[in-house]
Amino acid sequence: MKMKPHLHGKRGADLLHDPLLNKGQAFTEAERDALGLRGLLPPHVATQDEQVAKILETVRRKPTDLERYIYLISLQERNENLFYRLVTDNVTEMMPLIYTPTVGLACQRYAFIFRRPRGLFISLRDRGRVKQILQNWPHDDVRMIVVTDGERILGLGDLGANGMGIPVGKLSLYTACAGVMPDQCLPVMLDAGTDNAAFLADANYIGTKARRERGPAYDALVAEFVDSVQEIFPRACVQFEDFGNANAFRLLQHYRDKVCCFNDDIQGTAGVTLAGVCSALRLNGGTLANQRFLFLGAGEAGIGIGDLIVEALKAEGVTEEAARRQCWYVDSKGLVVSSRTDLAPHKRRFAHHHPGVDSLSAAVEALKPTMLIGVSGMPQTFTEPIVRAMAKFNQRPVIFALSNPTSKAECTAEQAYTWTDGRAIFASGSPFPDFVLHGRTFKPGQGNNSYIFPGVGLGIICSQAKRVTDEMFFVAAKVLASMVTEQDLAQGRIYPDLQRIREVSANIATAVARVAFQRGLTDMLCPEDLASRVRSQMYEPTYPNFV
């Protein structure tokens, strides 16, 4: 779908300063005359392809990834069509720059790279006027909102208002990977303070300089925000992103049956991991019912993955109790077992009867898992003895080091392959380069949520679903796994090539929308050709003709 060229009376410099309408040197001779642009642009009329080639060369000449990020965000702020054309055509190269791992460093340095407002900042001092703040947003047909409070940014912890880079980056992927219209996306930062002492002492920190609010005032701000969204943007889906564990689970539980919302850290991570598990089973010849999963990390991602694995096992006829017993967790205190009295509520359903074990290595030896999944944010915790033990128990050990950014990964692809003599089935959250061992080239799989959440969001938008269900993530995982080719598997890759991401997203969106229609979660009538309907709604970043 091409963006409709609604000029709203804009001409000349005003037109050039609107990133949704600006074409830069690609304005034609006729457009320059008709729209008062003559003389405001260099004489040469460039094609979009020429612009992309020049931008790509400029990006590659930048000395660091952070400089590349800053340059790309600046491009997005002045010419969205060109930005998305560049990213869509070069998604494998651009995604690590506009999102993880570079976005983590960008958030840490956000005070110094913040140029133009992008999204809405809502703080505790704004209570009572959140609706008015939402009305300040210049676009009135918002369909996807990504909101964070900045408490748990990737594996980097509490970054407060600097975490705004995450909603901005996520929504860029909604557009680049699934064709969600840019003007239907809204990033939001709920600034409830920060417990980051360095930021509180930093004169350049952009957020509220106060300790993080955790009481009734926080809940009231979230409630006012959610209620105001229902009034101002009634067709919007709210994605909760990078909230701390204490709030993430309870907010999802509180709102999931009341409004159209989901938590990507819990549900999206679960979907992409389940897809990787299914692909791994194609490589090792196992069945889901015969697996034993050991997680390092029992937070949002880990518990979310376990819950979805349980649903997948139940679909294969395994009882819920037996399914849960296939999932084991190690947290900062050791193995999660029923005798522990210090467990948060979200961990208790996976607390099994077993002697206490105080370390991951001891848990691996005691449980002999078939799949080891890292979602801890603790780098280099999959040590050589642990990975070698996995290889001792399994002919094809599954090692998922999913923590982001790259600096937080539990082990590297090179380590996993080397310590298992090339037998590991490996995936990571952030990208690792190809690795050659014994003359064989391995292409590590990246279990990136961008394989899941953009397609889920597109399906919600296309069906105008009123709620988001776990079944939607279950079908999304199945679609994603089905798109892994034999060639992918032969190269050690358990996810499709990222260059196919828009095809993946379209198929996931179709499956998600079908769930919405089948379950009566929408007032729309299901189109006769749902797949074609979904594809027709996808934004294509090509320039409109204004005259």
Last residue within a domain, chosen from 50, 66, 98: 98
Based on the fold, state whether residues 33 and 89 are members of the same structural domain: yes
Cβ-contact 51, 24 below 8 angstroms: yes
Give the range of the structural domain holding residue 429, as residue numbers without chain letter. 270-448
Q: Is residue 454 assigned to a domain?
A: no
Q: Is residue 220 assigned to a domain?
A: yes
Beta bridge partners of 190: 122
Based on the fold, state whether residues 51 and 76 are members of the same structural domain: yes
CA distance 179 to 169: 15
Q: Is residue 369 assigned to a domain?
A: yes
Report pLDDT for 9: 86
Q: Is residue 517 assigned to a domain?
A: no
Report pLDDT for 521: 98
Based on the fold, state whether residues 108 and 71 are members of the same structural domain: no
Residue environment code for 272-293, b if the CB has 16+ CB neighbours within 10 A, otherwise e: bbbbbbbbbbeebebebeebeb
Residues in the chain with pLDDT values less than 70? 1-5
Based on the fold, state whether residues 326 and 243 are members of the same structural domain: no
Based on the fold, state whether residues 397 and 316 are members of the same structural domain: yes
Tally Cβ neighbours within 10 Å of residue 155.
24
Tally Cβ neighbours within 10 Å of residue 89.
15
Q: Is residue 377 assigned to a domain?
A: yes
In degrees and rounded to multiples of 5, residue 237 shows phi and psi of -100, 135
Last residue within a domain, chosen from 98, 121, 140: 98
- CATH number, domain of 241, equals 3.40.50.10380
- CATH number, domain of 32, equals 1.20.1370.30
Q: What DSSP state is assigned to residue 425? A: E
Report pLDDT for 157: 93
Q: Is residue 243 assigned to a domain?
A: yes
CA distance 391 to 373: 14
Overall domain count for the chain: 3
Report pLDDT for 155: 83
Closest residue by Cα to residue 350 from 293, 403, 410, 398: 293
In degrees and rounded to multiples of 5, residue 454 shows phi and psi of -65, -40
> How far is C-alpha 148 from the chain's CA centre?
12
Active site residues: 99, 170
Planar angle of CA 5, 533, 93, nearest 5 degrees: 70
Q: Which long-range contacts (CB under 8 A, 24 or more apart) does 110-114 make?
A: 110/159, 110/161, 110/162, 110/163, 110/164, 110/165, 110/206, 111/162, 111/202, 111/204, 111/205, 111/206, 112/204, 113/66, 113/69, 113/70, 113/73, 114/206
Report pLDDT for 158: 97
